[in-house]
Structure 1
Amino acid sequence: MKRSMAVMIMSAMLLTSYTTVQGEVSAAAASAQSALTGHIENSVNLRSKPSLSGGVVGLVKKGTTVAVLEKTNDYWYKIQTSDGKTGYVSASEKYISVSGGVSQNQGGQGTSAVVIYGVNLRTQPSVSSGKVVKMLGKGTKLTILEQSNSYFYKVRTEDGQTGYVSTSSKYLQIGGTVSSPAPSNPAPEQSASISEQVQKVIQAGLKYLGTPYEFGSNRNTTTTFDCSDFVRQAYKDALGIVLPADSRKQGTWIRNNGTAVYDIGSLKAGDLVFFSSYKGSSASAYAGMNPNTERITHVAIYMGDGKILQTYSVKSGGVRVDDFDGAWKYRFLYGGSVLK
């Protein structure tokens, strides 16, 4: 009797465990099936979070098919591999192609938004071809229908009018409300075309994340870069602007262009930033440095928010995003805008 009871209990436990495991497998399979499919074009690091500071948890090899769970932001996809491992990979087309579109975790279809700074409603998702329909004042409530590209949302106003507005967080608050009333004369969209051009440059540079460093790299290829070749390529890809081929000539070009600034706090996103040679990690190592006579040995793109996009050595891993702090701040000579 005791033996029979023990067998029954053991059988029930095994059945429960099997059912649970099957449920988990089915759930995982359903999740994978509901996700979009990504094809890895070139081997890419799988990271623990959507940032270059995220730890590398594996390498997803070229030719691998993965499930795309979400587009976390403009730069990262959250994916799941065939063995169930999840993590984040670069959204660059160099590394992954995705079947169909992916909704971002903010600003997706049907999301509400409120205008927080006067913004133009346009007929097309472009500053150059989109005609201004009207100015949307601060406090205007919108429904986001889709993100048409990196720079424009397609939206619908409360009175049913549709059009396109800038995706910049300067103009829209995604979700929530703004309590202050719309002003009678809302502030206009300022330097929208410059801002959008800068974003194009940064996006063009980010697609080369991880591209190997080579001193004196070939200016006619994109397989490797040195610092000046990289910033030159970003501006060439994004805007068709061909900068001088080396950092010192680029620095002279910026000064001659009349946009040189010597205060880090005055830099704007998209500015080229120039540096002296590395002399140590302390500020005292750079005391008395004259930015106008010191030899330029490095150039990068300032991204805003204390970040620089650059490449500077084989050991560093090629094109990358770094904090503009420590020795970089001490080595800084001047910077300036390519655009006016």
Structure 2
Amino acid sequence: MTSVRNNLMPPGLVSNLEQVLLNKKKKSKDNDDDGDDGTSKQSNEEANESTEPSTSDSTENVDSSKPVLLVTNGDGIESPGLVYLVEALVREGLYNVHVCAPQSDKSVSGHSVTLRETIAVSSAEINGATAYEVSGTPVDCVSLALSGALFSWSKPLLVISGINRGSSCGHHMFYSGVVAGAREALICGVPSLSISLNWKKDESQESDFKDAVSVCLPLINAATRDIGKGIFPRSCLLNVEIPTSPLTNKGFKFTKQSMWRSTPNWQAVSANRYPAGHFMSNQQSLGLQLAQLGRDASAALVV
């Protein structure tokens, strides 16, 4: 958790999250008891959902009775982490989901902003959501979305940045584009979550993002509930770290940020161009692996 004060998480958020998890477990059991009828009903519902038109490119059909959620990220608008998250939020049927995300990968852009340069904005297609892709950074995306120049609203209930491919805890938070998106929302006075999935090259796969969505949805629902009640902690953002193989984890843990950092390993490389120059390559894999061994986020869902 990042906060301007050393606040503990309020009991209300923990209680709400536990209740959501219990309801989800009960719902899953009820679906299993339904057997074939439940499966058939689900298939029909999915078929009906697939025929619904996309609301992207239009704000005329926005249901003002539902709270607005803004989603951004650092990996780019086409990344599976963002797409699966947005689609799941739309299926929840509880929110008006809006997306303003980078056009390309800005995952290590930090809290950078674009100055003295025109930013291009184009509509994007994500079923059930109003979405725009932006040529700038995650901070640019959140700043633009909250300005009132792009959407008909200027302050959503919650800003969600993610789901990022790779961890964003410890000192890496300062480099992380996904955390910067949530931090910009915090600076603008809007509650925010940053969500990252620990990614292992030889172990992780795209379907892990779907599992990560199912893990973090209860937290999102609990957070929106507390915001509505006015008991969500002010002046803070929640940085959610989901370990590799999300469904194998048995719970969640509130903790403080660790102080780990990766150790860059610069090496000289040869190049034919500009022979008088010195060309260097940053090889971070060893330092990153060593750093992962000593951090708390490798064993539990960290908020």
TM-score, length basis structure 2: 0.26
Q: Which has the higher strand share?
A: 1
Q: Higher Cα Rg: structure 1 or 2? A: 1
Q: Which has the higher contact order (CA 8 A, sep 6+)?
A: 2
Q: Which has the higher helix share?
A: 2
